[in-house]
Amino acid sequence: NIKQGNGAVSVIDYPQGLDKAPVLQAMNITTHLSGGVLDKTAAGAL
């Protein structure tokens, strides 16, 4: 399961199958932007 929104990407993975514990990974993709398009997109969504 992959979700992207408001400048972040979250991934929920089941590397050992659905009967084992999931692994959650998240990454902020806005650190190189200051007042960029993602800030405007997020503001428009509110």
Domain residue ranges in the chain: 2-45
What is the per-residue pLDDT across 7-45, written as a single tens digit (0 to 9) for each? 677 889 999 999 999 999 887 776 665 655 555 555 555
Is the pTM for the entire model greater than 0.85? Answer: no
Distance CA 20, CA 41 (A): 37
pLDDT at 40: 58
β-partners of residue 3 are: 10
pLDDT at 9: 78
